[in-house]
């Protein structure tokens, strides 16, 4: 069921691109059919590696399937190539199991781009309100997933959320809400701008007039420039007008919230005014008396680290699908280690084997929670093929020694002392490689 829902989400995210390509191809095929084909291609891309595990290389089979579909489409109608190739790319991307925030961001970007170029691409005017509403729904989903991810990474569960962190999500929501409205509305072609211009002209007419301006010299009439976007057929519908009013009401409400928060944060804050007065006084003393303002000793060095570091982000992205190769632990080497290091090496070996099987490790979990998560994950997934038994030999050992492994590793990691006898009992039944 989860694979079906993920494939459907991928199809809806790529719906604007399929709609634009369908309008360019000019084929008598319903758009709902292309969405169904997109869902089918995404589902095939997700299930193909599981179906061919240990039998055939999934990448080669997938490429052959895409090439065969493209060849069949070109033989039937050459205009189908422009629609079949994006479906093949979608099925290949679906294999990566991309994050929910990435899927939502891609969906918002595609909706905005296709909405901006709807008229040149020949998309019907009736599809524009749907694109606008769907883009905002995807944006709201992106906000929700980003906030949930930040809370999960911070480890603030069971209601242990600080007020500052909870308010931060609302501020980001208000800021991005204003941005998305400003990005989407210029491409909507809505009729409220003439009303705004008429209101401004009426306000300017209330200003008392001065001396009459001299009559301007008539200029030669220039030929009118063609519009950047051709006018829509049938004029502006009533749905557009009501949608425009609703969006501007939301924009006005967001602007009022921003003004209220700024006034509450600064204009009505006595501490802020006191800081400004202190800074002005310090600047005045430095300017006239030539003395430097005394710096307050905080007693610590404040260090800040940017979250937008390209090298770390790329490293995490590529390391997710390319785990580091670990050399198999041998009993002779393990016996020569100290007791604490022996316990840590067993834990690392178990974790490496679980990651090799497909377990997604989370750095925020404690050692005991990690061991429990590995056991739970292995219980939900079926046993691997018999050909891979040497790689997953620690399954049975972990089922019996999970509790002592978690206790001893916690002591070894956090400064406790592990007795050699305890480490020997822990590694006595471990499946060593001969």
- pLDDT tens digit string along 309-336? 666 666 666 655 554 555 566 788 888 8
For 4, what's the count of Cα atoms within 13 Å in the CB-facing half-sphere?
1
Residue 351: is its pLDDT beyond 60? yes
Query: In which domain, by residue range, is 172 found?
Result: 139-153+163-191+237-291
This prediction has a pTM of 0.37
Q: Is the pLDDT of residue 191 over 60?
A: no
Residues 72 and 147 reside in one and the same domain? no
Residue 24 contacts residue 82 (beta carbons within 8 Å): yes
Asked if residues 136 and 184 have their Cβ atoms less than 8 Å apart, the reply is yes
**Is residue 365 domain-shared with residue 275, that is, in the same domain?**
no
Q: Is residue 370 part of a domain?
A: yes
pLDDT-based confidence at 292, cuts 50/70/90?
very low
Paired tokens of 56: 């055939």
Structure tokens belonging to residue 390: 């040497």
- How much is the mean pLDDT over the chain? 71
Structural domain contains residue 229: no
How far apart are alpha carbons 338 and 346 in whole angstroms? 12
Asked if 263 and 339 sit in the same domain, the reply is no
CA distance 247 to 189: 13
With 50 as the cut, is the pLDDT of residue 293 above it? Answer: no
Instruction: Report pLDDT digits (tens) over 245-285.
Output: 777 788 788 888 888 888 887 777 778 888 888 888 888 77
The string of DSSP letters for 261-279 reads HHIIIIIT-HHHHHHHHHH
The total of structural domains in the chain comes to 3
Least confident of 55-69, 144-158, 227-241, 362-376: 227-241
Most confident of 48-62, 310-324, 382-396: 48-62
* Rounded-to-10 torsion of CA 157, 159, 164, 168: 70
Q: What is the rounded average pLDDT of the residues 147-154?
A: 68
Q: Tell me, yes or no, whether 280 lies in a domain.
A: yes
> Is residue 267 domain-resident?
yes
State the average pLDDT over residues 92-97.
69
The residue that leads in pLDDT, 70 or 341, is 341
Phi, psi torsion values for 180, nearest 5 degrees: -70, -35
Inter-CA distances, 215 with 95, 205, 209, 243, 360, Å:
70, 19, 15, 43, 76
pLDDT over 80 at 129, yes or no: no
């Amino acid at each position: 069921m989860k694979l079906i829902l993920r494939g459907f989400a991928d199809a809806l995210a790529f719906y604007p691109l399929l709609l634009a390509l369908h309008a360019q191809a000019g084929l008598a095929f319903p758009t709902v059919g292309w969405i169904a084909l997109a869902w089918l291609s995404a589902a095939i891309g997700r299930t193909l590696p599981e179906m061919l595990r240990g039998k055939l290389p999934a990448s080669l089979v997938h490429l052959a399937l895409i090439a065969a579909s493209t060849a069949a489409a070109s033989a039937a109608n050459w205009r189908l190539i422009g629609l079949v190739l994006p479906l093949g790319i979608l099925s290949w991307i679906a294999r990566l199991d991309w994050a929910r925030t990435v899927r939502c961001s891609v969906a918002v970007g595609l909706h905005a781009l296709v909405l901006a170029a709807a008229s040149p691409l020949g998309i019907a005017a009736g599809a524009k309100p749907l694109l606008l509403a769907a883009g905002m729904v995807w944006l709201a989903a992106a906000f929700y997933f980003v906030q949930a991810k930040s809370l999960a990474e911070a480890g603030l569960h069971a209601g242990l959320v600080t007020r500052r962190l909870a308010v931060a999500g609302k501020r980001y929501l208000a800021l991005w809400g204003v941005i998305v409205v400003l990005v989407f509305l210029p491409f909507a072609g809505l009729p409220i701008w003439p009303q705004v211009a008429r209101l401004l002209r009426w306000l300017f007419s209330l200003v008392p007039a001065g001396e009459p301006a001299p009559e301007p010299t008539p200029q030669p009439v220039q030929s009118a420039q063609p519009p950047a976007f051709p006018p829509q057929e049938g004029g502006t519908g009533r749905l557009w007008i009501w949608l425009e009013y609703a969006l501007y009401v939301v924009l006005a409400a967001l602007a009022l919230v921003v003004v209220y928060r700024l006034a509450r944060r600064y204009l009505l804050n006595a501490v802020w005014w006191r800081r400004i007065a202190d800074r002005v006084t310090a600047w005045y003393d430095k300017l006239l008396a030539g003395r430097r303002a005394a710096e307050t000793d905080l007693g610590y060095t404040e260090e800040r680290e940017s979250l937008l570091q390209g090298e770390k982000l790329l490293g995490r992205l590529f390391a997710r699908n390319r785990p580091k190769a670990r050399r198999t632990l041998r009993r002779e080497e393990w016996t020569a280690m100290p007791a604490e290091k022996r316990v840590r090496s067993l834990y690392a070996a178990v974790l490496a084997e679980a990651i090799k099987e497909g377990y997604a490790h989370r750095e925020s979990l404690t050692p005991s929670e990690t061991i429990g998560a590995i056991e739970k994950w292995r219980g939900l997934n079926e046993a691997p093929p018999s050909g891979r038994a040497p790689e997953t030999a620690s399954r049975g050992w972990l089922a019996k020694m999970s509790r002592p492994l978690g206790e001893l590793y916690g002591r070894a990691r956090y400064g406790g002392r592990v007795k050699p006898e305890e480490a020997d009992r822990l590694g006595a039944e471990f499946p060593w490689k001969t």
